Structure 1
Amino acid sequence: MHPGRTSEQKRAFVREVTRVVVETLVCPPESVDIVITEVSREDWAKAGKLVADK
């Protein structure tokens, strides 16, 4: 994920991902761990080009 999301956006993301995993895998929410890693555009590449260069 690129930096810049608010804490509220991250909370909503984690809540919804957890909900879908629990529903899909039929597991308790306590078994779902999520790690959010923020990577700058200068450190992210796609199709052979830095995202920062697009």
Structure 2
Amino acid sequence: MPTYHIEMMEGRTVEQKKKLVEEITRVSVQVLGGSPEAVDILITDIKRENWATGGKLWSERH
């Protein structure tokens, strides 16, 4: 089964992350088969100062 690596800016609550991993797991099992216990999800929270788009750090955006 799959292993998902999710990188996102920090700031989401534990409840939001819980819902996200529940839904990713549910859809993975629905589409790919297998059991929920076979789906791994790794979440990495990135500080806004460590993420840039278009040559600008997100910590500098307004």
TM range (shorter): 0.7 to 0.9
Taking only the aligned residue pairs, the percentage that are identical comes to 52
Structure 2 length normalisation: TM-score? 0.73
Once superposed, what is the RMSD of the aligned Cα atoms? 1.2
Size of the aligned set, in residue pairs, is: 54
> What stretches of structure 1 move > 3 A for 4+ residues in a row?
none
| Higher strand content, 1 or 2 | 2
Structure 1 gap segments, 5+ residues each: none
Structure 1 length normalisation: TM-score? 0.82
Higher RCO structure, 1 or 2 (CA under 8 Å, sep 6+): 2
Structure 2 gap segments, 5+ residues each: 1-7
